């Protein structure tokens, strides 16, 4: 125990000193005296009421997310297979575009790539609607 305890007499003396300092600094107002006297009279006859612990409100319940829509596993599998095919087609087209030369050939491959990307986007959207989560 590092801290020493003050005796009751020392504590009382310290409180009196503090009370004298505040009394010298502030002069009591007449209106304040009346209210203090009324409160003192009322308190003499009955015991002080017990303080109750503050009532805590329960935290608001988090809003539940809507359950995912009912999905057909077979439909999801079919869409996943189609997505895999489109991705494979895209890889092949990109490889062809990289290895070939010529303006006409480039334009044709570019058009086919954009069609495949659009198909992939549509398939992903369909899958997301079925499962509720992105592919």
pLDDT digits 0-9 by tens, 40-49: 555 556 666 6
- Residue numbers of the domain that contains 85: 73-130
- Cα-Cα-Cα-Cα dihedral of 126, 128, 131, 133, to 10°? 170
Check residue 14 and report its DSSP letter. H
User: pLDDT tens digits for 50-103?
Assistant: 667 677 777 777 666 555 556 688 889 999 999 999 999 999 999 988 888 777
Number of domains in the chain: 1
> In this predicted structure, what is the pLDDT of residue 131?
86
Structure token digits, residue 56: 């805590």
In a domain, 109, yes or no: yes
pTM above 0.75, yes or no: no
Residue 120 in domain: yes
Exposure of 127 by Cβ count < 10 A (0-12 exposed, 13-18 middle, 19+ buried)?
A: buried
Q: Distance from CA of residue 3 to its chain's centroid? A: 43
């Amino acid at each position: 125990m590092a801290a020493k305890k003050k005796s009751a007499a020392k504590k009382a003396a310290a409180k009196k000193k503090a009370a004298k300092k505040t009394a010298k600094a502030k002069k009591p107002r007449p209106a304040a005296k009346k209210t203090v006297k009324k409160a003192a009279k009322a308190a003499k006859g009955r015991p002080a009421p017990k303080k109750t612990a503050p009532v805590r409100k329960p935290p608001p319940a988090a809003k539940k997310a809507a359950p995912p829509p009912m999905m057909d596993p077979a439909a999801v599998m079919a869409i996943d297979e189609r997505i895999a095919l489109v991705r494979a087609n895209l890889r092949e087209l990109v490889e062809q575009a990289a290895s070939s030369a010529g303006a006409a050939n480039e334009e044709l491959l570019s058009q086919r790539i954009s069609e495949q990307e659009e198909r992939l986007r549509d398939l992903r959207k369909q899958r997301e609607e079925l499962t509720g989560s992105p592919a």
